[in-house]
Amino acid sequence: MSAQKQLLIIDDDPDFVDGIKAILVKANYKVDVAYNPKDGWAALENKNYDLLLLDVMMGRGAEGIMVARKLGKDAKLRNLPVLIITSIREQMAFLFPGEAVHPHFVTVDELVEKPVEPKLLLDKIATLIKTAEAKTGQVADAKKR
């Protein structure tokens, strides 16, 4: 693997974060943590990350979704791969009646359910980062031509 990848976790449950961070650090990722969407957004603006792990249910409701929507509208951050980590199963009626929770919020995202098995977690992260890199690589190539 090339340089150490830099990940950001935005999740308001410190215990869950500890559990997930341990797996990522063990797998040689550098990990930053924000415990609310506001700090998370500040971190995203100040530093370049290779991937964001985003919780859905934070604060008064589905604030994680707001972060994802904001990302989608941001010219620079829209291509940041996002792994959405949620405790709600797909079509939980009370959240978005009649809507699936995961109709791809940003260009590059994936969804896993809490708790997430280490192997699944690491596989998804590796794939997302690889796909994103291939994409930006293509863009760079196109620009060179």
Partner 1 sequence: MEHAKILIIDDEEVVLDSCKLVLEPAGFKITTASNGTAGLALVPELDPDLIFVDLKMPGISGFDVLEHLHATDPNRVAIVITGYATVSSAVEAMKKGAYDFLPKPFTPDELRLIARRGLERHRLRQEAIALRREKEMLRENFAAIVSHELKSPLSALQQNLFGLTAELEDRMSDEQKARMQRMKGRLDDLLKLIHTWLRVFSVDVNKIKEQFQPVAVGQVIARAIENVLPHATRKNIEIASDVREPLPAVMGDAVSLAEVLGNILGNAVKYSHPQTKVQLTAAADRGAVVIAVSDNGIGIAKEDLPRVFGDFYRGRAGAAMDSGCGMGLAISRRIVEAHDGTISVESEAGKGSKFTIHLPANT
**Cα–Cα distance measured from residue 104 to residue 69, given in angstroms and rounded to the nearest whole number:** 10
CB 64 to partner 1: min, Å: 13
* Between 16 and 135, CB nearer to partner 1: 16
Count of C-beta atoms within a 10 Å radius of residue 119? 9
Report which secondary-structure segment, H or E, holds 83.
Answer: strand 82-86
CB 5 to partner 1: min, Å: 17
**Token pair listed for 96:** 């978005």
Q: Which residues bind partner 1 (CB under 8 A)?
A: 13, 15-16, 18-23, 26-27, 57, 87-89, 91-94, 114-118
Among candidates 59, 58, 5, 52, which has minimal Cα distance to 28? Answer: 5
**Cα–Cα distance measured from residue 67 to residue 144, given in angstroms and rounded to the nearest whole number:** 33
* Between 102 and 135, CB nearer to partner 1: 102
CB 121 to partner 1: min, Å: 8
- Phi, psi of 2, deg, nearest 5: -70, -140
* Between 52 and 116, CB nearer to partner 1: 116
* Between 120 and 139, CB nearer to partner 1: 120
CB 101 to partner 1: min, Å: 11
